[in-house]
Amino acid sequence: MIVPTGTADILLRTEGRAGFITLNRPRALNALTHPMVLAVDAALTAWEHDPAVHTVVIEGAGERGLCAGGDIRAIHDDARAGGTASEAFWRDEYRLNARIARYPKPYVALMDGIVMGGGVGVSAHGSVRVVTERSRVAMPETGIGFVPDIGGTHLLGRAPGELGTHLALTGSPVGAADAILTGLADHYVPAAELPALVEDLTRLPARDAVARHAAAAPPGVLAEQREWIDTCYRAEIVETVVERLFDTGAPAAKEAATTLLTRSPSALKATLATLRRSRSLATLEEVLDLEFRVSCAALTTPDLVEGIRAQVVDKDRNPRWTPATLPEVTDEAVARHFTAPAGGDLGLAAARRAAEDQGPRTGA
C-alpha cells in the first residue's frame, strides 16, 4: 500500500514482512530535501513499533541511482542569502543518519547506480548494504568547496589504511568491489537480480534474502593501488600528499594528484583535519557532532557557493577558489572549521549518553 507522507518525493509501502522507502525525485537523481529527511524519519518511527514490519528497505526511483546527495542548489541559495535553512536541514539529516546506524530492525539499502553524499548517509549506515555492477559510490564534497559529512569521515576514516583518505580528498567514485573493500557496502548483487531480491525481502529474513542473490563482485582497483595510496596519504599535510603522489611514478597516483589540484584548497585541508580527528572518536554520534561544526563553518566560506555555482548552477566547471592554492590556507583558517556554530552544537553524542544513563524505561 502507499502511505501519505506529506511529500510526494517519498513513497512508502508495506508488502509482506517489509516496509519500503522509495526516494522519488528521479529527475533530480533523488536528491534529498528537508521534507524528505523528515518523511524518512517518520516512517522509521512508525515501522520500528509495527510488529508486522520486520525489515526496512530503502531504494531510489528511476534507473540512475539511489540518491545523488542533498539538494545542493538549495544549500547554494541559502548560503548566498546568509540563511539558516541548511543548518536546520543538517540537524535533522545527521540525526537521521545516526538513527539508521542504530535502527533495531534490518535496514536494507539498495545502492544501485549513483550513491553520493547524502545518499551515502541514508544507505551506508544501514545494517545490510547492497551494491551492483552499476553502483558508483562517492563522497565528492571537496569538488564543491565542502567537506564530507553525513558521517562520511566516520566511514572513510575506518577504511583499510589510507584508502578512505584518498576517496575523501579526491572525491573519486568507486564501484561495487571497492565499496565493499572500504566498508561502504556489504554485498554484491547483480542488478538483474534486484527484482527477485525485493520479492524475497517481502517473505524472508533480510540476510537470508540477500544470501540467495549475493555473488562475487567484479574486480575493483583499490586493492592493487593500496601501496602507493597508503604511502602518499599517510602525510599530515595536503601539500605533502600531493608531492608524494607526483613523485611515485604511478600513473594513477599522478592522476590523483592532478585531481587534488582542481579541488578547493580550503576544503582539502579541512577534510584531512576532520578525517584525522574523526579517527580518534569512538562513536558515529561524536563524528556527526564534529562534522556539523565543519559543515556550518563551510556556509560562511566563499568556496561552497563558488563550487556549487561552477558545478551545478552555471556548470562551467571552472571554480575560482579563495584562497587559490594550498599554501595560502592557514592553520587558523582550518581551525575555524571546528568552532561551535552560532546556532549551537548538534549534541548527538550528549543525547546518546543521556539516554544510556537513563536506561530502559518500564511501563506502569
pLDDT in tens, 339-357: 999 999 999 999 999 988 8
* The predicted structure's pLDDT at residue 51: 97
CB distance 18 to 56 below 8 Å: yes
Active site residues: 70, 118, 141, 149
Please name every residue paired with 20 in a beta bridge, in sequence order, or none if there are none: 13, 57
Distance in angstroms (rounded) separating the CA atoms of residues 156 and 165: 7
Query: What are the tens digits of pLDDT across the range 62-114?
Result: 999 999 999 999 999 999 998 999 999 999 999 999 999 999 999 999 999 99
Q: What is the mean pLDDT of residues 23-27?
A: 96
| Residues near 28 by beta carbon (within 8 Å), at least 6 away in sequence | 68, 71
Note the helical H segments in 173-218: 176-181, 194-201, 206-211
14 close to 20: Cβ distance less than 8 angstroms: yes
Q: Are 222 and 214 in contact (CB under 8 A)?
A: no
Q: What's the chain's average pLDDT?
A: 95
Q: Which helix (H) or strand (E) holds 287?
A: helix 284-298
Residue 362 confidence (pLDDT): 44
Spatial separation of the C-alpha atoms in residues 132 and 197, rounded to whole Å? 12
Q: List, in order, residues 6 or more apart from 349 with CB less than 8 Å away.
A: 283, 285, 286, 289
Residue 1 is predicted with a pLDDT of 42
| Cell numbers describing residue 110 | 539498495
Q: Which helix (H) or strand (E) holds 109?
A: strand 107-111
**Span 239-289, pLDDT tens digits:** 999 999 999 999 999 999 999 999 999 999 999 999 999 999 999 999 999
pLDDT at position 357 = 83
Which pTM does this prediction carry?
0.94
pLDDT in tens, 2-20: 444 456 899 999 999 999 9
